[in-house]
A = this chain, B = another copy of it.
């Protein structure tokens, strides 16, 4: 069960509700940030009269009951949807957000040129890997802190907020110092220690879906962040494991309207990893927005063939510019089809 306090409710009223619940033996979670305060109630079967009792308490706006495994991530908590702000960028608003940049920060020149190019192409946020999760220990693992410094420099140059991945609990504070948004990658979607630590930073989070994660498991990983007091979460569908090697992954766009129906969190799509093929990125980007995605995260490089990592799935700034134009026009047509959703 979730108790939503009214925006006017003061801390005293909220503390009182927490107290009332605790003394009745429930586990409570206070979710404070990014909107009206919310209290999650768990831990034992609810007394029948509890919802009515709580609804009558001062400061309580709404009592929401759900039998879903995830509670704070459920749509019912915020029927209007959550808007996640990163600087002036808003995920979950009327306009799709386009994040672009290189797979990996390779060097100063490459990053700054790419950052400038994606800004000109109309992207509103910069991506780039400083710590890279590589399947092989012999592959380039990223520049680490140097990469973070370069990302900060690129932000200063272009004004674009920066999202980058954090791989290890020990690097969370470090990455949080530099980045505007922390990415939790597919391989770490169920790294619960990392989720808890990232939640604690209060930074906006980009939570990628694990490549064999069900929608429910994905929302439960978001629930770890929410239960940790952080609701600045953007979900990212990036393809699941399939049986056909013709594409790197199977981009599961069903997940987009489904997640919008089940949860209040914004959801974006990564067509670069989701296809693994450069020439599929533009059409699948449009498909993602048409399906209701709140944005895209796309790998861009001035010379894709020269990219150290993932060149095969990387597009040029020129292709990005054309894509951005199409996405804007497309959004005008498709907006509202999910109204019912």
Q: List chain A positions with a Cβ less than 8 A from chain B.
A: 27, 42-43, 69-71, 133-138, 167-171, 187-188, 190-194, 210-212, 214-217, 220, 223-224, 227-228, 240-247, 250-254, 256-258, 261, 274-275, 277, 279-280, 282-284, 286-292, 322-323, 326, 329-330, 333-334, 337-338, 340-341
Complex CA gap A80/B144 in Å reads 39
Q: Which partner residue on chain B sits nearest A134 by CB separation?
A: B192
Nearest CB in chain B to that of A222: its residue: B137
Q: Do A284 and B291 contact each other (CB < 8 Å), given the known contacts A168-B169, A169-B168, A246-B215?
A: yes
Q: Please tell me if the beta carbons of B243 and A257 are within 8 angstroms of each other in the complex.
A: no
Of B214, B242, B341, the residue contacting A246 (CB under 8 A) is B214
A242 CA / B245 CA spacing, docked (Å): 11
Please give, as numbers and ranges, the residues of chain B lying within 8 Å of A216 by CB-CB distance: 246
- Asked if A190 and B133 make an inter-chain contact with CB atoms under 8 angstroms apart, the answer reads yes
Copies of this protein, total: 4
Min C-beta distance of A134 to chain B, whole Å: 7
CB-defined A-B contacts under 8 Å, sample of 15: A135-B220, A137-B227, A138-B223, A167-B193, A168-B193, A215-B246, A247-B258, A251-B253, A253-B253, A254-B284, A258-B280, A283-B291, A289-B290, A330-B334, A333-B333
Output the nearest chain B residue to A170 by Cβ-Cβ distance.
B169
Alpha-carbon separation in the docked complex, A162 to B286 (Å) = 31
| B136 near A220: Cβ-Cβ < 8 Å | yes
Question: Which residues from chain B contact A287 at a C-beta distance below 8 Å?
Answer: 253, 256, 287-288, 290-291
